[in-house]
Amino acid sequence: MSNITSSIRFRILSLALFAASLIVPATVHAQLAVYAGFSGAPLSGASSNWAPGGLVGIYKQSGHGLGTVSFGGDLRGSFLTRDGFHSYTGAIGPRLSIKAPILPLRPYVEGLVGLGNVQNNNAGSHTNFNYQLVGGLDTTILPRIDWRVVEFAYSAVPTQSVNAKILTTGLVLRIW
């Protein structure tokens, strides 16, 4: 049953990523990037104090207007799990990033909404509204590859009383 569930989740995420690439408006100097990272989060309202997991996503944004500010959208999925607990989220929303004039640093902020699926102590899973407030810092390490040095996300599934303060590090591949 687990393989079927994983296959369905993968198909839903793939379809959602494709849909986001069509929804986010294209501009003259648009940038499309995919990313993946390793996450960990202390949790409130869960049976486990700390849950590791992964983060995958895609973002599309305008070129840097006036050389510094860029607007766009992000679509992501996070997967935290430990000891009979899991929190899976899928969210989409606006993204604002700033490119430092000389340094290869790109701080960003996002406000996302979507769905969160929570299972606590194998007591059945429930899918409800999820919101996330995200901030992070990427730095260029190769021409099309960035290191997501750190990302902090506050992710809440209010009806399940589960809140996660997620720290992530990973890689970003800028496609164009």
Q: What are the DSSP calls for the chain, one per residue?
A: -HHHHHHHHHHHHHHHHHHHHHHSPP-TT-EEEEEEEEEEEEEESSSSSEEEEEEEEEEEE---BTTTEEEEEEEEEEEEEETTEEEEEEEEEEEEEE--SSSSEEEEEEEEEEEEEEE-TTS-EEEEEEEEEEEEEEEEEETTEEEEEEEEEEEEEGGGTEEEEEEEEEEEEE--
What CATH number does the domain containing 92 carry? Answer: 2.40.160.20
When divided into structural domains, the chain yields a total of 1
pLDDT tens readout for residues 43-57? 665 555 788 999 999
Domain that holds residue 77: 2-174
pTM: 0.78
Decide if pLDDT at 123 tops 80. no
4 pLDDT band (50/70/90 cuts)? low
Which range is most confident: 3-12, 22-31, 152-161?
A: 152-161
